[in-house]
Each structure stands twice: as structure tokens, then as C-alpha cells.
């Protein structure tokens, strides 16, 4: 699998980015078996951080449980990849000029990135649907659905 350079992925998802790069990324994801129609939940907790002020995740819809300090929402999968790439490249790995951004990197950014990688890996291997992982993580189905999934095992 050919990987696009980080700056190309970041530019692909922004409004000023090159649409052909975003299309290329979407084609590669579809080829890998990733369902682009299924949104990804991005966790945002507490007040906006310096990282969010610098670049805010492109939330398309608030999560049903979002209230007060919980600002979770749905994000398109390509936007989630671009934001995770931004966190890695601009904040965590190459933050030479300003360590203040690195200090506010929270467990939520780390877990969002891990959940994104988990979903992409499971979906590309064909296990995302077979394990019912997408339904177990969907809190709108309630705890009854989770118990049904767990009892099948």
C-alpha cells in the first residue's frame, strides 16, 4: 500500500486543500474495505485547548450524549485521519518551536487516534462487521444491544 506524505493528507481534508488528494485517499480507503459512509466518533472533553485553537477537528454532528464539558461528535473518516496526522506531525513529533502544544496533548487525543487506527485495521481486515464492533461501540443502541452481543460469544 502506498502512503501519501503527511502534508498531502493534511491538505486533502481542509477546505483549501486539493480535492484530488482527498479523492485519492478516499479511493485507497474504499479499496481497503473501509466504509466511508460510517462516521467516526471523536471525543472532546473540557474546554478548548491550544491545539484545538490552532486547528479544530471538523465535527459534522454532535454526539447524542454531548453536554456541558463533553463535546464529542461525529467526524468524517478522512477528516479524522487528517487530524490524527496533524496531531502526530505538528504537535507530538515535530513541535520544536513551541513545547506548549505538547504539554496540552491529552489522553483523549491519544485514545481518538488509537480508536481510529483500530477501526481502520479491523475494517481493512474484514473484522469490523464480523465482530459487530461497529454496533457495540454505537451507544444509541443502548445496553440491551451490548448484552446481546456479549452473550453471543
pLDDT, tens only, 119-151: 999 999 988 877 665 565 555 555 555 555 556
Q: Residue 26 has what pLDDT?
A: 93
Could you report the per-residue pLDDT of 39-68, keeping only the tens digit for each? Answer: 899 999 999 888 888 899 999 999 999 999
What are the phi and psi torsion angles at 75 (to 5°)?
-135, 145
For the beta sheet containing 40-42, the strands, ordered from the edge strand earlier in sequence to the opposite edge, are 40-42, 73-75, 59-62
Other residues' Cβ atoms within 10 Å of the Cβ of residue 145: 15
pTM of the predicted model, to two decimals? 0.72
Amino acid at each position: 500500500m502506498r502512503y501519501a506524505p503527511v502534508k498531502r493528507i493534511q491538505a486533502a481534508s481542509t477546505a483549501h486543500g486539493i480535492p484530488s488528494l482527498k479523492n485519492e485517499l478516499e479511493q485507497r480507503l474504499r479499496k481497503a474495505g473501509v466504509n466511508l459512509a460510517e462516521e467516526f466518533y471523536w471525543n472532546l472533553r473540557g474546554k478548548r485547548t491550544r491545539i484545538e485553537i490552532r486547528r479544530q477537528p471538523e465535527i459534522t454532528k454532535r454526539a447524542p450524549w454531548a453536554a456541558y464539558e463533553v463535546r464529542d461528535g461525529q467526524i468524517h473518516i478522512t477528516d479524522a485521519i487528517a487530524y490524527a496526522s496533524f496531531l502526530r506531525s505538528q504537535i507530538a513529533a515535530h513541535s520544536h518551536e513551541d513545547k506548549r502544544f505538547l504539554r496540552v496533548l491529552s489522553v483523549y487525543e491519544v485514545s481518538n487516534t488509537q480508536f481510529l487506527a483500530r477501526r481502520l485495521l479491523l475494517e481493512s481486515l474484514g473484522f469490523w462487521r464480523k465482530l459487530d464492533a461497529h454496533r457495540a461501540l454505537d451507544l444509541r443502541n443502548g445496553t440491551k444491544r451490548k448484552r446481546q452481543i456479549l452473550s453471543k460469544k
